[in-house]
Structures are given as C-alpha cells and as structure tokens.
Amino acid sequence: MQYQSQAVAKLYFTAAIGLFAGQILFGLILGLQYVVGDFLFPEIPFNVARMVHTNLLIVWILFGFMGAAYYLVPEEAERELHSPGLAVLMFWVFLVAGALTILGYLLVPYSGLAKMTGNDLLPTMGREFLEQPTITKIGIVIVALAFLYNIGMTILSGRKTVVNLVLLIGLAGLAVLFLFAFYNPDNLVEDKLYWWWVVHLWVEGVWELILGSILAFVLIKTTGVDREVIEKWLYVIIAMTLITGIIGTGHHYYWIGTPEYWQWWGSVFSALEPIPFFMMTVFAFNMVNRRRRNHLNKVAVLWALGTAVMAFLGAGVWGFLHTLSPVNYYTHGSQITAAHGHMAFYGAYAMIVLTIISYAMPMMRGRKAANSNRSQVLEMWSFWLMTVSMVFITLFLTGAGILQVYLQRYSDTPLPFMVVQEKIALFYWMREVAGVVFLAGLVLYIASFFVGSKDPEAAVEQAASPTA
Amino acid sequence: MSEAFTKVMARNIFYGGSLFFLLLFLALTFDTEGTLPERDNRQAITGKVAMGKRLWENNDCIGCHTLLGEGAYFAPELGNAYKRLGGKAGIIGFIESRPKDGIPGRRSMPQFNFTDEELDAIAEFLKYSSEINTANWPPNIQG
C-alpha cells in the first residue's frame, strides 16, 4: 500500500463480503421456496426474499466498486485521497441506510414500508431491482455524489491515467443513469422503457467500464506488462462495450409495447455484445502470458483470469443464447433469463470485486504483497467451488428453462405455468444442491482470511523465465 | 495488438464510437416515443388504472410475477391474466380467495386483504396491460 488513505477501502471490502454472505443465504431460501412452496410462508414470502437477495447483490457490488475506487485511485493518481474522512462517513451512511432498508423489507409488509416512507409523494417503489423506498434512493444519490466528488477531486489534482479516467467515466455514468430510477410514469410502457436505462445501461454499459478499469489495474500490478499496452486494450474493450451495448438495450424492447424495429436493432447489436467480453478474455490471458514478473499473489491472478472467462461465458455466451428476437419470443421471462442473470452477475461483477479484494486486502492487512501459501491455497479452493457450482446452477436453470419453454410455450399443447413448474422440479432441486456447494465455497473464502494469517508470506518473488 | 494501432487511435474510437451510438440511441428513443401512442394503450389509463399500478407496485407483485415478461419467474405471467382468467371477475376472484396461511407444500400468493375498490383497480390495471400491443407476445395464453 503506497498511500495511507487507501486503507478506507478495507471497510468497504469487509462490508461487501458480509453482504455477499447475506445474499447467498437468501438465495438458498429462494431456491428452496421454488420446490417447497410454503417454506417460510407467510413470514418471508418469495418476493421479500428475492428483494433481499437482489438488493444485497447490488449493494455489495456497489460497496466493492467504491472500495476498489478508494484503493486504486490514490495509487494511480499518486496522491492521497482528497478526503479520507468523507469516505469513512459515507461508508457508514451507506451501510446504515442499506441495513435499515433490508430490515424494512423483512420486518414490515412491503405495502406498509411504502406507506411509512411516503411512496405516494414520489412513487418509485415496487419495480424490479428498484424496490428501495424513495428515501433510500435519495440517500444513494447523496452517497454517490459525495463519493464522486471525493474520487473526482483526487483524480483531477493527481496523475491522470487511463485506468482512473475510465473508472471515473464509469462511476459518473452509474450515478447519472440511476436518476432514471425516479421516473415512474403511470404509462407502463414508458415506465419499462426508461427502467432499462438504469438496469441495462448499468450492467451492459457503464459497469463494464468499471469492470474493465479494475481488471486493467490488477493486471498492470500483477503482470508488470507495460501500462501503454494495457491501456490500449482497455480503450478498445470499452469502445466495443458502448458501441454494441447502448443500442443493445433494444433487446429489452421486443415485447413491451415498443415498436417492432427494435427487434432488428436489438438483435443485431446485442449479438455483437459478446465481442468486448471475448476481447477481455484474450486480453487477460495475453497479459498474464507476457508477464514480466511472477507476482506472489497467485490467487489474485486466478481471480482476474476467472473474471474474464466467466464474464464472457455468463454475459457473452449465455446472453447471446436468448438475445435474438425470434429466440427471445419463446425464452423471454423464463428460467433461461434466470440462468443468464446468475452467471453474468457472478462472472462479471461478483468476480471482479473478489479480484480486487484478493489483490488489495493482503496489503491492507499488513502484508507486503500477498498472503501466506496456506491462505492462498484455501482461497483457490473457494474460487473453484464457487465458480464451478455457479456453472452448475446456470446449467440446471438452463435445463429447467429449455423444458419450461418447450412445455409452456413451444409445444402444440401448451401447459399452464404451475403445471410446468412441477414437471421441472428436479432441475430446481439440483440447482439448490449446487447452491449449497456455492455456500461451502463462500465459507472457505471467508475462512481464507483467518487461516494461515500468522504464517509467513508466500515465497520470494522470482523473475519470470525468458521463455514464459 | 500491433504497434501501428496506437493508444490515441483506440481512445478516439472509444469517444467517437460511444458518442455516435449514444446519439443514435437517443434518436431511436425519440422516434419510439412518437410511435407509442398507437401501441401503448394510453387512452385506457384512467385514475383507476393508475391506482391499480400503484397497488401493483406497493405490494411488490413483480417480486413473484412477470408483467410483459419482466419480473420474477416464481409465479405466472400477468400481462395476459385478464384474458387467461376470464376478465376482471376472474382476476378479482383469484386474488380474494388466497388462503391466509398458504397451501401446505405449495407456492401460494399471500392474502393481501384488498378492499373492493382496490381489487377493481388492480383488475383495471391488468385489463389495460393486456391491451398493450406487445408484438404478439406471449406465444400462447399460458404466458
């Protein structure tokens, strides 16, 4: 750690891991409710558990992004953070607001929460992923503005690097696009049209810029490859992201009342959306192959490569699978969507946050560069358990989705929704088993912060052999 | 990547490409807004429908159901519920009759204890939704 103020990231990363654990517990509850329909009913109905699951995901990823920014921006800008105090204050504001919101979901019926928080004054609640009470949304905007101010001031008065600039563009885009969460007209079609400006333009737009810059930072640090080379790659990747991803929003405009030309725009551009993810994979492997040093933190490199591969599979391949409008006509809103959502979020965003945590946390906890061998090996186990089980979760949901689409929508004698759900229950059981393995991986992940923490650091660094 | 292709060129593609496609997206959105009045059934949006949409939101119905294919995949699609359940009476009857403690071993919709006026508003909202031109989606009545 080169600058003291980078240490504020530790708070953010710790909270992110805690909320991640909460997300997974609620995921297991949801998975069980899929097959044991009355599990925890009526105390925690499915919709409440789902809100907790998805909102915890969003919040922990945001904590991860903010932590990543607080860690890497000072190092890139070669100066201390503009205001470490503000960063700590905003951490607590965000954590308390987030915790109160989650408690609100769990302890008060949702309609009661809407009433308590005055949703009728400015109705924004009750839309997927944007379930937070309006007051929480306003809190998110305030935290985001304070965060952008802090990061922006640091970048502006320091060394300007492409990594910092791209990160800043991504974060600013994240904040600006979130403002569309406040637009909720009575017209359902317009509601949906602009809802996607938050959801799609986040995950298939500006978040990819954040992902790209964090990945570039970790690769610069762990491979020692010339910054010029990495920055050029980063520009090309994010160029392809926005060139394909912005119009790619059209793949959400096929069946929601919007004009039919979107079937062409959406199909063509979103079919190109895997390209930046494929380039990211090529990029990551290329840089690691051309490395000028063998970094001691092997597990961080594993996470970085894993992110690139899994983001390509989850977002790229599984996205393409159902993005062409003639296919999407049958798969829209089925378990295929759920399969894609799980691997894409894990592969792109969960894994990039785990990558930067894996790289930065050892140094923030007093190591020179890396954890002990024992700790790293345990973390590698957690990497493989979580990643492989997520592949299986995705495959089982895909199996469920193919059957669902056939039985409910494609065959000559379409069956009712609930009849189909019972027929495909086996796949939901298998998904739940895979989910339990994921939880085991997460337990090992958390354990890796404690196991071997008193052991000496991993062996001394050796220069990469010339043939490598 | 080859040396002839420089970082500045990559940067220019990023800024130029992003700006171009952002503007194209805005233009397409503008055009979409122009065509929506013929497709989105806006003339049917009454006070009752707006009230129904608020109830839909304030009870997080989207947390289990899909509406025009968007939402959660735990419970049936509701964009065509008006047609599938046989009109407003079918919708109201279904919501009203949910048992308070659920159905043993099975998925069940909670009992929301809506008033008659609220039930009517929700049904009106789902009727309005079912008349939006969705390019023939869903493929059949099962949603």
pLDDT digits (tens, 9 = 90+) for A38-87: 999 999 999 999 999 999 999 999 999 999 999 999 999 999 999 999 99
- Record: contact A257-B59, CB cut-off 8 A: no
Q: Does B108 touch chain A (CB under 8 A)?
A: yes
- How close does chain A come to B44, measured CA to CA in Å? 10
- How close does chain B come to A357, measured CA to CA in Å? 28
Q: Which residue of A has its CA nearest to B22?
A: A246
**For the whole model, what pTM was predicted?**
0.97
pLDDT on residue A461: 52
d(CA A74, CA A47): 41
Hey, which residues 49-78 in chain B have their CB within 8 Å of chain A? 49-50, 53-54, 56-64, 66-77
Averaged pLDDT of chain A: 97
The per-residue pLDDT string of chain B (143 residues; one tens digit each, 9 = 90 and over) reads 677 899 999 999 999 999 999 999 999 999 999 999 999 999 999 999 999 999 999 999 999 999 999 999 999 999 999 999 999 999 999 999 999 999 999 999 999 999 999 999 999 999 999 999 999 999 999 99
- Record: contact A110-B35, CB cut-off 8 A: no
Residue A76 CB contacts under 8 Å (≥ 6 apart), including other chains? A155, A158, A159, A161, A163, A164, A217
pLDDT on residue A467: 47
Q: Which residue of A has its CA nearest to B73?
A: A334
pLDDT on residue A462: 53
Ordered by start, the domain boundaries in chain A are 1-160
pLDDT at A1 over 70: yes
A169 close to A205: Cβ distance less than 8 angstroms: no
State the number of CA atoms in the 13 A half-sphere of A366 facing the CB: 5
Over residues A172-179, mean pLDDT: 98
Q: If 0-12 CB within 10 Å is exposed, 13-18 middle and 19+ buried, where does residue A459 land?
A: exposed
- How close does chain A come to B114, measured CA to CA in Å? 11
pLDDT in tens, A244-278: 999 999 999 999 999 999 999 999 999 999 999 99
pLDDT at A468 over 90: no
- Record: contact B58-A45, CB cut-off 8 A: no
- How close does chain A come to B11, measured CA to CA in Å? 6
pLDDT on residue A284: 98
Chain-centre distance for alpha carbon B107: 22
- Record: contact A125-B66, CB cut-off 8 A: no
Query: Is 0.90 exceeded by the ipTM?
Result: yes
- Record: contact A329-B54, CB cut-off 8 A: no
The length of chain B is 143
Q: Does B19 touch chain A (CB under 8 A)?
A: no
pLDDT in tens, A127-159: 999 999 999 999 999 999 999 999 999 999 999
DSSP 8-state code for residue A459: P
pLDDT on residue B3: 78
Hey, which residues 342-401 in chain A have their CB within 8 Å of chain B? none
- Record: contact A232-B24, CB cut-off 8 A: no
Over residues A115-125, mean pLDDT: 97
- The CATH class of B43-143 is mainly alpha
**B74, B82, B114: best to mutate for the A interface, most A CBs within 10 A:** B74
- Record: contact B107-A37, CB cut-off 8 A: yes
Share of chain A above pLDDT 70, in %: 98
Chain-centre distance for alpha carbon A80: 27
pLDDT at A396 over 60: yes
C-alpha to C-alpha distances, A36 to A336, A393, A400, nearest whole angstrom: 21, 18, 16
Share of chain A above pLDDT 90, in %: 98
Ordered by start, the domain boundaries in chain B are 1-38, 43-143
B32 close to A193: Cβ distance less than 8 angstroms: yes
